[in-house]
Structure 1
Amino acid sequence: MPLRDLLLGLLVITIWALNVIVIKVGVAELPPLLMTTLRFILVSSILVPFYRVTRAQLPFLLLLSLTFGTLHFALLFIGLEQSEAGTGALLVQMGTPFATLLAVIFLKEKLGPKRLIGLLLSFAGVIVLAGGPTLPSPLPLCILLLSAFGWAVSQLLIKRGPAIAPLALAGWVALLAVPQVAIGSWLFENGQWQAIKEAGWAGWGAVFYTAVMSSIVAYGIWYALLRRHPVNRVVPMTLLVPVLAVGLGALLMDDSLGIHKLMGGGLVVAGIGLILIRFRKRRPAL
C-alpha cells in the first residue's frame, strides 16, 4: 500500500477513535437520543439530496434504519453516556464476533479453527473486563453489547441486501431513523429544548463531528481505500480503533488503565484480529 493511502487509512482510524471521545463530550451537554436525532438530521440533510434510491429499496432501508440507526447508533450513544470511553470502545468491537456467529448460523459460513479461537479470545476478553472496576454497571454493559449486536445484524443485512452506494445507504438510513430516535427522545428524555438552547461549542461540535467527520468524511475515504486495495489489507487496520480509543480515553478523559482493561482489551483485539486477518498459505518451493 502506498504511503499516501496508509496515512489516509490511519487518518480514518484516528477519526473513528476520536469519535468515541467526542460522543462522551457531546452527551454531557445533550441527552443521548436527542444528540443521535440531531446527528441523523445532519447526515441525511447532507447526503439524501445527492443520492436517490428506488421505491423497491425502501423496505430494506427501513429495516436497516431499525438495526443500524436505532439499535446500533442510539444504543451506542446511550451506553457511552454511562461508561468510560475506552471500555465502551472495546465492548462495541464485539460486533465482529457477533457478526461471525450470525454468519455461521444464518449464512452457513464455515467457522474454522482460527476464527473459533478468535471468538473464544474475544469473549474471554469481555469476561476479563467484567472482573475489573472499569466495566460499566449491568444496564449500560447490556446496552453497549446490544449496540454491537445491532451492528452485526446490520452487516449481515447489507451483505444479503440490494447493492446500494455506501453514502446513499448512510443518508437514507439516517433519514428513516430520525422519527424513530426522535420519538424515543420524546418518550424517555426531558429538557430537550433547554439542552438545545444551552449547548455550547462542545455539544454542537460533537454533533458535527459524529455526523460529518465520522460518518461522511471517514467512510468516504474508507470506501475509496477498499476500492483501491484488497479488503484483507485495509480492514485489519480497524483493530487500531479500540487501542487508540483506550489511549485517548486515558489521555483526554482521565480513564483508568488497569490490568483488567489492558488484558481484557488485548484479548478482544487479538480475537478480532484472528477473525479478520487472513493468512496466506505459502506455496511449496519447486
Structure 2
Amino acid sequence: MPLRDLLLGLAVIVIWALNIIVIKIGVADMPPLLLMTLRFLLVAMLLVPFNPVYRHQLPFLLLLSVTFGTLHFALLFIGLGQAEAGTGALLVQMGTPFATILAVIFLKERLGPKRLVGLILSFAGVVVLAGGPTLPSPLPLALLLLSALGWAVSQLLIKRGPNIAPLALAGWVALFAVPQVALGSLLFESDHLDALANAGWAGWGAVLYTAVMSSIVAYGLWYGLLRRHAVNRVVPLTLLVPVLAVLLGVLLLGDSLGLHKLAGGALVIVGIALIILRFGPRRKPQESGQESQG
C-alpha cells in the first residue's frame, strides 16, 4: 500500500477512535437518543438528496435501519453514557465474533481452527473486562454487546442484500432511523426543548462530528481505499480503533487503565485479529459492502 493510502487509512482510524470519545462527551451534554436523532437527521439531509436508490431497495433499507440504525447506534450511544470510552470501544468490537457465528449458522461458512480460537479468545476477553472495575453494573455490558450484535446482524443483511453504494446506504438508513430513534427519545427522555436550548459545544459538536466526520468523511475515504486495495490489506487497520480509543480515553477523559482492561482488551483484539486476518496468496482488490462501527 502506498504511503499516501496508508496515511489516509490511519486518518480514518483516528476519526473512528476519536468518534468514541466524542460520543462519550456528547451524551454527557445531551440525551443520547436525542443526540442520535439529530445525528441521523443531519446525515440524511447531507446524503439522501445526492444518493438516490431504487424503490425495490427501500424495504431492505428499512430493515437495515432497525438493526444498524436503531439497535447498533442507539444502544452504542446509550451504553457509552454508562461505561468508560475505551471499555465501550473494546466491547463493540465483539460485533466481529458475533458476525462470524451468524455467518456459520445462517450462511454455512466454514469456521476453521484459527477462527475458532479467535472466537474463544474474544469472549474470554469480555469475561475479563466484565470482571473489572470499568463496568460497575451489568447494564452497560448488555447494551454494548447488544449494539455489537446489531452491527453483526447488519453485516449479514448487507452481505445478502442488494448492492447499494455505501454512502447511499448510510444516508437512507439514517433517514429511516430518524423516526424510530425520535420515538424512543420521546418515550424514554424528557425536557427535549430544554436539552436543546442548554446544549453546549459538546452536544452540538458531537452531532456534527459523528454525522460529518465519522459517517461521511471517514466512510468516503475508507471505501476509496477498499476500491484500490485488497480487503484483507485494509480491514486489519480497524484493529487499531479500540487500541487508540483506549489510549484517548485515558489521555482525554481520565479513564482507568487497569489490569482487567489491558488483559481483557488484549484478548479481544488478538481474538479478532485471528478472525479477520487471512494468511495465504494475496487476493485481487475488491469492493466490500461492510460497514464500520464508527
TM-score when scaled to structure 1?
0.97
1:110 match: secondary structure: coil
Is 136-145 or 24-33 further displaced after alignment?
136-145
- The aligned counterpart of 2:275 is 275
2:132/2:261 contact within 8 Å kept? yes
- The aligned counterpart of 1:62 is 62
Structure 1 residues 253-272: aligned runs within 5 Å: 253-272=253-272
1:221 match: secondary structure: helix
Say whether residues 1:53 and 2:50 are aligned partners: no
Structure 1 residues 92-171: aligned runs within 5 Å: 92-171=92-171
AA aligned to 1:67 is T
What are the Cα deviations for residues 2-28 of structure 1, in whole angstroms up to 9, with x where unaligned? 000000000000000000000011001
- The aligned counterpart of 1:229 is 229
The alpha carbon displacement at 1:136 in A equals 4.4
Work out the CA distance in 2 between the residues paired with 1:236 and 1:192.
40
- The aligned counterpart of 2:39 is 39
Is 199-208 or 3-12 further displaced after alignment?
199-208
- The aligned counterpart of 2:202 is 202
What are the Cα deviations for residues 122-172 of structure 1, in whole angstroms up to 9, with x where unaligned? 000001111211124111210100000000000000000000000000000
AA aligned to 1:219 is Y
The alpha carbon displacement at 1:229 in A equals 0.3
Work out the CA distance in 2 between the residues paired with 1:202 and 1:49.
28
- The aligned counterpart of 1:188 is 188
The alpha carbon displacement at 1:281 in A equals 6.4
Tell me how large the CA RMSD over aligned residues is.
0.9
1:257 match: secondary structure: coil
Work out the CA distance in 2 between the residues paired with 1:4 and 1:195.
42
Q: Aligned residue pairs: how many?
A: 282
Work out the CA distance in 2 between the residues paired with 1:281 and 1:228.
18
Structure 1 residues 241-252: aligned runs within 5 Å: 241-252=241-252
Structure 1 residues 23-34: aligned runs within 5 Å: 23-34=23-34
Which segments of 5 or more consecutive residues in structure 2 lack a partner in the other structure? 283-294
AA aligned to 2:217 is V
Work out the CA distance in 2 between the residues paired with 1:3 and 1:228.
13
1:43/1:174 contact within 8 Å kept? yes
The alpha carbon displacement at 1:192 in A equals 1.2
Displacement over 3 Å in runs of 4+: none
TM-score when scaled to structure 2?
0.95
2:159 match: secondary structure: helix
What are the Cα deviations for residues 180-208 of structure 1, in whole angstroms up to 9, with x where unaligned? 00000000001111111111111111100
1:84/1:136 contact within 8 Å kept? no
AA aligned to 2:34 is L
AA aligned to 2:208 is F
Which segments of 5 or more consecutive residues in structure 1 lack a partner in the other structure? none
AA aligned to 1:267 is L
Work out the CA distance in 2 between the residues paired with 1:263 and 1:173.
36
AA aligned to 1:228 is R
2:24/2:80 contact within 8 Å kept? yes
Work out the CA distance in 2 between the residues paired with 1:242 and 1:269.
8
Work out the CA distance in 1 between the residues paired with 2:49 and 2:75.
27
1:278 match: secondary structure: coil
Work out the CA distance in 2 between the residues paired with 1:281 and 1:2.
19
AA aligned to 2:45 is S
2:96/2:152 contact within 8 Å kept? yes
1:65/1:176 contact within 8 Å kept? yes
Work out the CA distance in 2 between the residues paired with 1:257 and 1:268.
16
Work out the CA distance in 2 between the residues paired with 1:182 and 1:213.
22
2:18/2:248 contact within 8 Å kept? yes
Work out the CA distance in 2 between the residues paired with 1:239 and 1:110.
23
